[in-house]
Amino acid sequence: MLIEAFLEYLAFEKNYSKHTIQAYKTDLIAFKDFSAVEFDQEDLENIHYNQIRTWIVSLVNSGVSNRSVNRKVSSLKTFYKFLQKIGEVTTNPLASHKALKVQKKIQTPFDQNEVEEVLKLLNEASDFESIRDRLIVELLYSTGMRRIELINVKEKDVDHSKKAIKVLGKRNKERYVTILPSVYKTLEEYLSEKKAYEIENEEALFVTKKGVKIYETLVYRIINLYFSRVSTKAKKSPHILRHAFATHLLNNGASLNSVKELLGHSSLASTQVYTHNSLEQIKKVYNKAHPREST
């Protein structure tokens, strides 16, 4: 009952997505099952930290990465904060827990030449799917919107007079992203093709030929397919294109605060992960241009 109440709290008070809520549910049920087997205890409000620590050790020993363990423990910690809030527990057993150390992954964004090469490839064809895919790449790169945000854009979210799109971000936070003139031209071309195909789904902006709203794996496949032809980078995903958007803006003088707003981040801490590559670029420019370099 407590887990169900917690999940309802996440859905209705915190406005978390179904995907996020499912992740919390999976983590909590996994811990509950572990407690039942290891300690013959299903009563989660009477769990002690030593029991949780045993669970953490078992996860690490079974090969679960430190990053994944931290995420699972974070789910549990949030659950106990909720139990404190509703008076089911007086203390959070994870209040003093320190997260496991994780090695920071520096993701390398696509460079501008790679993006341009992909757009050239997409310009070679003029069928419905090619125009749609080109618009997907152009919007992800020129606005920095998340994959799920792009998928959920409706035709009515496009403000043609202001050349902007209303985007629904994390925790149902709305923001507007500007459409560049060249991208707007592709958008008009796509909408014209969509109408010509007499696709019945007029609500979702992006659809398949059959009128089905596009989905996450399809967007991933589109980005991976085209960027695999021009890039040797290890990861080729919509998120790396978002990463490129932020990095290229910072490289060209945009402020961190501006990029934060464009990305739809709630704090600067989330945006700062994109500064590594821009700092590397600044170092290169500095080392090349500083007068001491030539002495």
Active site residues: 146, 170, 239, 242, 265, 274
Pick the closest to residue 241 from 119, 157, 129 (CA basis). Answer: 119
| 154-193 as b/e: b if 16+ CB within 10 A | eeeebeeeeebbebbbbeeeebebebeeebbebbeebbeb
Amino acid at 259: V
Pick the closest to residue 219 from 211, 231, 227 (CA basis). Answer: 227
Centroid of chain to Cα 281: 24
Pick the closest to residue 194 from 123, 118, 135 (CA basis). Answer: 135
β-bridge partners, 213:
207
Contact call for residues 77 and 92 (beta carbons, < 8 A): yes
Token pair, residue 187, equals 């958008």
| 272-288 as b/e: b if 16+ CB within 10 A | eebbbbbeeeeeeeeee
Contact call for residues 16 and 10 (beta carbons, < 8 A): yes
Token pair, residue 295, equals 């002495």
Centroid of chain to Cα 282: 26
